[in-house]
Structure 1
Amino acid sequence: MLRRYLERKDWETDVARYGVDIWMTTIAIAEGFRVCQSFLGAKLHDAKDPGADLSAMLHQVVGSVFTLMKEYEQVWRNVTGSRPADLFGFRFDVGLDPIPVNLERMVKAFLTGCRELREIWSLALERETLQALLGVCREAEANPRQWRLPDYLWARVILDFACAHRAMPVERGHLLRSLTPLYLGRVASFVMETEPLVSAEVEDRIEQLCLAFEAAKPYLTARWDAVGAAAAPAVQGAPVEVKP
């Protein structure tokens, strides 16, 4: 597997920094390597507010995922459902220090995006998705501590952006940057929802989100095919007239 990673030509792209974890995992799964989980203890990072210095990291991670989606389309498009990975080691809970989160700043960034990025969001999002999202924006504006961005809608947002990333290569940078306030809105919603929960309950909520993405798979394949057909030449193999 290491040889396969070293053979790749994309080490000078976004995967070289924040995108490397998802890049390695996706390649291993898509190319049929054995994948497992192992308990190694807590992976510790410097405590950092998710609302601070996020744009570059999000751009690189999501850009890597969307690029790999196009590369491995023939692998993922026919997959249905999911199954647990093999698990090694002894499961144990790890106590972690809480990370302070500036909820007000995240909500403010989300609402700023709602006001200023509607035009570029409309390039990526289906009409129904955009209308549902704007409804969430209105709820957040009216009551900044009581609104939610539901799982099904977040899945639709991400899948719409994935399809737009495929369809509009020239606009990719703008699209990915415009995703930052949406992500902050989703994080703020998740923080408010899970604030009273214990860690096991939070893990269950994350699993529910994963299932929402699984349920949206038919939506993804339909949209992916639609944007692919729209981007294809109108006439395949037509003769080209060359004028002197």
Structure 2
Amino acid sequence: MPTNRTGVTVVGIPARNEATTVAAVARAADAGLRAAFPDGGNVVVLAENGSTDGTAERFEDTELTVGKVVVRSSGIGTGKGTNVFEILDQGARLDADRVLLLDADVRSTEPEWIDRLARAVDGDEPAIAVPAYRRNRFEANTTNHLASPLLAAVYGVHVQQPIGGEFAFNRAFIERARTWARPASSYLYGIDVWLTANALRENLRVVEVPLGRKLHNSPFPKILRLPQQVLDSLFHVLLTTDEVRPPAPREPVARAAIDSASVRPDPVVVAHVTRSVGRYLGDHWSGVCDLFPSARDLQAAPWGLRVGTDEWPELLADAVAGVAHGDLETTRDHLVPLYVNRVLTFWEEIEELDGSQIDVLLDRQATETVRALGSRSIAFGRTAEHAVFHENHWVGYNDESEQPLGWSVPA
């Protein structure tokens, strides 16, 4: 049982334009807090930035038995991280013993998640709880192909879903996190990986908490912007890391991240993304190959490039080498189109596989990324500017234009 059932517990819901789901998430938080901390000082905080669909009003109209706080900020120049930092600040103001986060767009939030996450961060030493879900095989792409294998390769710890959204922190962790440098991307979608990567960098306690199935709105329309922001925050943390660390010994754990249900992303959206990526690679192919030598051997595919499980770890190792050599933004930007091609190739690879076989494939990908980076001589110790996040090379490629692909792999 948690050591303190009478302290202050804050559940924060970061949101922008999630009016259709925020009430259900708030009610699940309320029920979970009442069950886990019946005698505690419980508060649900909605932090929203620039919502235009009545998200805050829907939350305010939702009857809760615990305390309720709404924090608003402008939508200009803000993102998910802005809301998370506001929630952490509210936790500090309320002298909270623990702060939990629940994504506002999840349709499968359960009250039991509150107790599971809270239990995981009991104690006086800084601790963070991260979720372990079963997800649609066509989702969690940034998690599966970027965040998880890169963190495993650099920090020697394989966290299955380091950017899942449902987190918990104890008071000691919150105090430590308030001292970490915040790149501009950490105020955007980079926040989740910023939290997990910094925890691994400082060898803090990271606890994976099984939460069952996660159902939420499809993240695929964000597949160009979201990974760019995630990579930016991750790469900033890498630069402050002492060294690439060897894999930590661990007991074999049967991975169970792939859900039996699956829904393909909208093919119209996939086509838009494929065109944007094709235009980008057509304009930047020479520079991509300079930073990612492994890309020179990639073969053509109907969607652009065939980036298989065997090729991807070497490309990720190229990326870490590029960051270590001081090319953070260019490496970040050029990795995004390679990543999208990895995702589309992965979908073909798993066409005939069941969930357990896909889990094995993803574990092998992470293990091979550890091996690929371990064979390189990598030294960090550089610094990068934190103040501004800019799309840089991606300006003009994120629109919805119907331009034809117009690009093929050079001979």
- Contact kept in structure 2, 1:106 and 1:188, CA below 8 Å: no
Runs of 5+ consecutive residues of structure 2 not aligned to the other structure: 1-172, 383-411
Question: What corresponds to 2:207 in structure 1?
Answer: 36
Offset from partner CA, 1:99-124 (integer Å, 9 cap, x none) = 42536555555544443321221331
Aligned residue type for 2:225:
A
How many angstroms does 1:44 deviate by?
3.2
How many angstroms does 1:209 deviate by?
0.6
Cα distance, 1:60–1:82 mapped onto 2, change above 3 Å: farther
Cα distance, 1:106–1:201 mapped onto 2, change above 3 Å: farther
Question: What corresponds to 1:152 in structure 2?
Answer: 310
Cα distance, 1:81–1:116 mapped onto 2, change above 3 Å: farther
Question: What SS does the aligned partner of 1:195 have?
Answer: coil
- Contact kept in structure 2, 1:154 and 1:186, CA below 8 Å: yes
* 1:6 is aligned to 2:178: yes
Identity %: 19
Question: What SS does the aligned partner of 1:38 have?
Answer: strand
- Contact kept in structure 2, 1:109 and 1:184, CA below 8 Å: no
Question: What corresponds to 2:246 in structure 1?
Answer: 79
Cα distance, 1:56–1:95 mapped onto 2, change above 3 Å: same
- Contact kept in structure 2, 1:35 and 1:85, CA below 8 Å: no
Question: What SS does the aligned partner of 2:375 have?
Answer: helix
Match of 1:188 among 331, 338, 344: 344
Cα distance, 1:175–1:30 mapped onto 2, change above 3 Å: closer
* 1:161 is aligned to 2:319: yes
CA distance in 2, matches of 1:121, 1:112: 13
Aligned residue type for 2:178:
L
* 1:54 is aligned to 2:223: yes
Question: What corresponds to 1:242 in structure 2?
Answer: none
* 1:125 is aligned to 2:292: yes
Q: Name the Cα RMSD after superposition.
A: 3.2
- Contact kept in structure 2, 1:14 and 1:63, CA below 8 Å: yes
Cα distance, 1:92–1:163 mapped onto 2, change above 3 Å: closer
CA distance in 2, matches of 1:93, 1:149: 21
How many angstroms does 1:85 deviate by?
8.9
Normalising by structure 1, we get a TM-score of 0.70
Relative to total residues, which structure has the larger strand share, 1 or 2?
A: 2
Offset from partner CA, 1:78-104 (integer Å, 9 cap, x none) = 4136535999xxx89865452425365
CA distance in 2, matches of 1:3, 1:218: 33
CA distance in 2, matches of 1:22, 1:84: 24
Question: What SS does the aligned partner of 1:41 have?
Answer: strand
- Contact kept in structure 1, 2:177 and 2:195, CA below 8 Å: yes
* Runs of 4+ with >6 A deviation: none
Relative to total residues, which structure has the larger helix share, 1 or 2?
A: 1
CA distance in 1, matches of 2:258, 2:329: 39
CA distance in 2, matches of 1:201, 1:112: 34
CA distance in 2, matches of 1:207, 1:92: 10
How many residues in Structure 1 have an aligned counterpart in Structure 2? 207
- Contact kept in structure 1, 2:309 and 2:346, CA below 8 Å: no
